[in-house]
Homo-oligomer: A and B are copies of this chain.
Amino acid sequence: MTEKTTAALEKLRNEIDTVDQGLLNLLRQRLNLVARVGEVKHNAGLPIYAPQREASMLDKRRDEAEKLGVSPQLIEDILRRLMRESYQNEKNVGFKQVNTDINHVVIVGGRGQLGDLFRQMLSLSGYQVHILDADDWHLADMLFDGVGLVIVTVPISITCNLIRQKLGQLPEDCILADLTSIKLSPMEAMFETHSGPIVGFHPMFGPDVTSLAKQVVVVCHGREQEKYQWLLEQIEIWGAKLVEAEANKHDEAMQVVQALRHFSTFIYGVALFESKADINQLLQFSSPIYRLELAMVGRLFAQNAQLYADIIFAQTENVEQIEGYFENFREGLEMLKSGDRKLFIEKFDLVADWLGDFSAQFQQESRVMLQTAADMKVN
């Protein structure tokens, strides 16, 4: 590099430093303002996530960006990232307590990650929360005395038995809820065991979320909805989106969404292991899309074996989805071995037609994800 080049670059980089200082100051200001919006909303008991307001604000910014010759997508991406930050900061403010009359809450299994998240959110909303974990059953009578809400969040494999054996003596007006990732059998167990209000939830997110904003929570209505309606409102105030579902339909969809997915990822990890794949080399050669794939495999194996065993073995009587996939794979392998390109293209086009407009939408979404993966790349 010539001296002139070095000097020119140095000067420009100093100017960039100054702009970045300004940027940081504005980010600080914006986070403060949004925190104050949060406080106003908190006092008024409004949900922190307002989809329409968010969409119209983004539209406005996109227009303004265009006028300045800044790409609309750039400002949208930056503001979405900033909003995430603000949602996470909401936790520092706390949340409005929807039901101020209710007695204390007991979370059975509250030392798990999901139980801990709900404990935290309920506490931040002013409820008095007690944990009842595996070692605490000698305290059960005391904790259940006058309890207003019991939330069960224990491993799937023991959920139904625990409900039947341990939760038969709750106060008549206590709400009994669970957070299990399958819904039919825990709901049945709750119905058989408790005669008061019952509701089932499935929080559709991993243990590493730091805010419920924009996350989906599936609700299966059980009994006496009017008595637990406040809890639904409370969850919405935390920013989550409630999706109502029938327990059996939910469980069917979960076969596709969860069991098959986790199982395939598990098998992929096993296949990598057995072929003694060189992960470093794979990473070197990997495109962003494959890096993402590997990340998903690593993510699964970084977590708890028991947890995934629970999810995958939860409905062993019902492995049709996985068997169906296996059959499709067998047929596909035969097609591959016989070199039948024509059949491949026919099937490809069938599926592409069936997916229709979803394909374009998915391609757009995946492009954004892959760009982010590329942005992240450091080595």
Contact = CB atoms under 8 A, between A and B. Distances in A.
29 contacts: A1-B46, A2-B44, A16-B30, A19-B29, A19-B33, A20-B79, A24-B70, A28-B70, A74-B81, A77-B81, A81-B81, A204-B287, A205-B287, A206-B288, A257-B286, A257-B290, A270-B332, A273-B350, A275-B324, A289-B296, A294-B362, A295-B366, A299-B362, A299-B363, A313-B336, A319-B337, A322-B333, A322-B336, A365-B373
Contacts of A345: 305-306, 309
Interface string A336-379: 11010100110111111011001111110111111111111110
A279 interface: yes
A347 to B, nearest CB: 6
A142 interface: no
A277 to B, nearest CB: 6
Interface string A268-303: 111111110111011011111111111111110111
| Interface range for A | 35 or more
Given A215-B374, A289-B206, A345-B305, A269 B332 contact: no
A102 interface: no
B376 A368 contact: yes
Contact of A374 (B84, B257, B273, B282): B84
Question: What is the copy number of this chain in the assembly?
Answer: 2
Given A287-B206, A348-B308, A332 B378 contact: no
A352 B33 contact: no
The 3 closest A-B pairs by CB, nearest first: A298-B362, A302-B359, A305-B348
A44 B69 CA distance: 27
Contact of A355 (B75, B77, B254, B269): B269
Contacts of A19: 26, 29-30, 33
B286 A24 contact: no
A253 interface: yes
B37 A362 contact: no
Interface string A24-53: 111111110110110011011010000100
Contact of A9 (B40, B269, B272, B350): B40
A118 to B, nearest CB: 17
Interface stretch (A104-112, A124-132, A184-192, A259-267): A259-267
Chain B CB within 10 A, most for which of A13, A332, A349, A378: A332
B355 A298 contact: yes
Contact of A319 (B290, B312, B333): B333
Contact of A274 (B273, B324, B355, B365): B324
A225 B29 CA distance: 55
Contacts of A336: 263, 312-313, 316, 319, 322
